[in-house]
């Protein structure tokens, strides 16, 4: 009995330590899904792309190319276009030694409609901070994270993050922004006087599935908005990933462990009671 209890407690401690060690990872764009979970234009990650490259799937937008904006490096490579064939392309950092966040964007223009999809991709090599990259206007209507998660950070459930909505480089105040997640959550909020929308990520992960996942689970989200000007409709979207709240899966694991511990403690008592009645 004592050996069983010790083994269980050691297992619980190991579980907690393992989870604590997996709370850091560079944020990635969402994996491409067979069926789009949003009608907004999306740039999703896919497997492949080759060494040092990233494979991007373009969904809900008709674009012949994907444009990558670098945070620094060779001026001739600060903005590069990658042809998209069958809604797919592979992108690379601006240089072999230039990593950090790169801004990725696709654009579609039809008659009086302009649609833009945006995301960011983190390349592991060291590189310039994306401060100037985020300040630089890249399309007429934009949703820009302020700030981005740090190198080993990521968006998580229940956290508050700020996103700036800009029109022609200037903040759009009191403007609606719609948030959607891969799990079906949807909400609309408005920017403040400075054009900033504060997003609270919903707690919509299934904790049991999150606990069962081998790698840290992640899901896609997208923020989108529209604006009318000069008889044209502009739509822009920013998508990325978020992760479950760490305490949720940790609490579930500890709860299961202590339930098992309680059962082990109660079992000998039940056996004694049965023996007494016998």
Q: In this structure, are residues 64 and 83 in contact, taking their beta carbons and an 8 Å threshold?
A: yes
* In-domain check, residue 242: yes
Residue 191 lies in a domain: yes
Q: How confident is the model at residue 96 (pLDDT cuts 50, 70, 90)?
A: confident
Q: How confident is the model at residue 46 (pLDDT cuts 50, 70, 90)?
A: confident
State pTM to two decimals: 0.78
pLDDT, position 12? 46
What CATH number should be reported for the domain holding residue 113? 2.60.40.10
What percentage of the chain carries pLDDT values higher than 90? 62
pLDDT for the residue numbered 1: 52
Per-residue confidence at 51, pLDDT binned at 50, 70, 90? low
Q: Which residues pair with 219 in a beta bridge?
A: 242
Asked, for residue 265, whether it belongs to a domain, the answer is no
CA 194/CA 200 separation, integer angstroms? 18
Report pLDDT for 158.
96
- Cβ–Cβ under 8 Å, residues 236 and 141: yes
Give the up-direction half-sphere exposure of residue 231: CA atoms within 13 A in the CB hemisphere: 1
The number of folded domains in the chain is: 1
pLDDT at 3: 53
- What's the CA gap between 242 and 154, in Å, rounded? 6
Upper half-sphere CA count for residue 61 (Cβ side, 13 Å)? 29
- Domain span at residue 139 reads 25-246
Is the model's pLDDT at 56 over the cut of 70?
yes
């Amino acid at each position: 009995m004592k050996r069983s209890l010790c083994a269980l407690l050691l297992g619980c401690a190991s579980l907690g330590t393992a989870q604590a060690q997996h709370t850091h990872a560079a944020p990635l764009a969402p994996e491409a899904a067979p069926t789009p979970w949003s009608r907004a234009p999306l740039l999703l990650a896919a497997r492949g792309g080759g060494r040092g490259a990233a494979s991007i799937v373009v969904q809900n937008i008709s674009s012949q190319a994907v444009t990558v904006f670098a945070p620094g490096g060779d001026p001739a490579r600060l903005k590069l276009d990658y042809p998209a064939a069958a809604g797919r392309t592979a992108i690379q950092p601006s240089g072999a030694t230039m990593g950090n966040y790169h801004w990725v964007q696709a654009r579609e223009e039809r008659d009086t409609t302009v649609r833009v999809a945006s995301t960011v991709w983190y390349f592991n090599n060291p590189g310039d901070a994306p401060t100037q990259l985020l300040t630089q206007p890249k399309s007429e209507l934009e949703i820009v994270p302020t700030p981005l998660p740090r190198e080993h950070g990521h968006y998580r459930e229940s956290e508050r993050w700020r996103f700036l909505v800009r029109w022609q480089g200037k903040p759009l105040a009191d403007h609606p922004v719609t948030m959607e997640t891969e799990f079906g959550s949807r909400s609309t909020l408005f920017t403040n006087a400075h054009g900033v929308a504060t997003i609270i990520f919903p707690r919509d992960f299934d904790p049991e599935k999150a606990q069962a996942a081998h790698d840290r689970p992640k899901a896609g989200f997208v923020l989108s908005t529209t604006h009318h000007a000069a008889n044209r409709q502009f739509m822009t979207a920013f998508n990325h990933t978020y992760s479950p709240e760490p305490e949720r899966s940790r609490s579930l694991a500890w709860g299961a462990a202590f339930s098992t511990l309680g059962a082990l403690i109660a079992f000998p008592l039940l056996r004694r009671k049965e023996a007494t009645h016998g």
